[in-house]
């Protein structure tokens, strides 16, 4: 099949904030056609592996190393990744290195991601999450939560994982976030990791 989805990420932010850490939310990531093809592959043929860590349990895999069907290979193109990096640079007014990581995540009923900030010196500095889900509702859980502090009761914002929506944020000691327990359904996301050239501020 010819590649018909070689389109850059489309970001039109609906909210930009600098508190309690820098983040933005957008209602559209990929084209609608591309988002559905990616989601179908994640639901059926993706090479998921269970990963268990101190604060989470989820299924994941490295998207850049995966054997993708022809219509999804554009996700691995250097030109496409560079376009994503440029958009993040413009959004956060930073200069990023050429290193980009792309992983897919899947959460199933009973799984959650506990409160954490992802801060590791000299590592990932910015993250872009594209959420891919079918008709997700509050009752299914899986809510992305941002916190004002490391106190789990100090919630700043709750984000429902609407299909093809995007969340980007700068990683710091203050970027406390979590995902609530999945009650039913499967919650998918693509996670882009970027690295600032000069490291953390």
Asked if 161 contacts 169 with a C-beta cutoff of 8 angstroms, the reply is: no
pLDDT in tens, 114-165: 999 999 998 999 999 999 999 999 999 999 999 999 999 999 999 999 999 9
In this structure, is residue 54 part of a structural domain?
A: yes
In this structure, is residue 8 part of a structural domain?
A: no
pLDDT in tens, 96-116: 999 999 999 999 999 999 999
Report the alpha-carbon distance of residue 200 to residue 180 in Å, rounded: 28
Entry pTM:
0.93
CATH number at residue 33: 2.60.120.620
Asked if 93 contacts 51 with a C-beta cutoff of 8 angstroms, the reply is: no
Helix (H, G, I), strand (E, B) or coil at 190: strand
Q: How many domains does the chain have?
A: 1
- Residue 117's alpha-carbon distances to 25, 36, 161, in angstroms, are 18, 30, 19
In this structure, is residue 76 part of a structural domain?
A: yes
Report the alpha-carbon distance of residue 175 to residue 59 in Å, rounded: 23
């Amino acid at each position: 099949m010819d590649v018909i989805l070689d389109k850059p990420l489309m970001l039109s932010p609906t909210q930009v904030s600098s508190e309690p850490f820098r983040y933005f939310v957008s209602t559209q990531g990929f084209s609608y056609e591309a988002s559905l093809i990616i989601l179908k592959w994640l639901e059926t043929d993706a090479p998921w592996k269970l990963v268990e860590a101190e604060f989470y349990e989820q299924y994941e895999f490295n998207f850049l190393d995966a054997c993708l069907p022809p219509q999804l290979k554009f996700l691995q193109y250097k030109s496409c990744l560079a376009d994503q990096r440029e958009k993040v640079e413009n959004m956060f007014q930073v200069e990023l290195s050429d290193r980009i990581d792309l992983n897919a995540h899947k959460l199933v009923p009973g799984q959650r991601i506990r409160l954490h900030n992802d801060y590791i010196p000299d590592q990932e500095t910015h993250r872009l999450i594209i959420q891919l889900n079918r008709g997700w509702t509050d009752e299914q859980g899986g809510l992305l939560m941002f916190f004002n502090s490391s106190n789990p009761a100090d919630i700043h914002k709750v984000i429902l994982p609407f299909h093809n929506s995007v969340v980007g944020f700068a990683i710091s000691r203050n970027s406390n976030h979590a995902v609530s327990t999945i009650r039913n359904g499967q919650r998918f996301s693509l996670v882009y990791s970027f690295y600032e050239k000069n490291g953390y501020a």
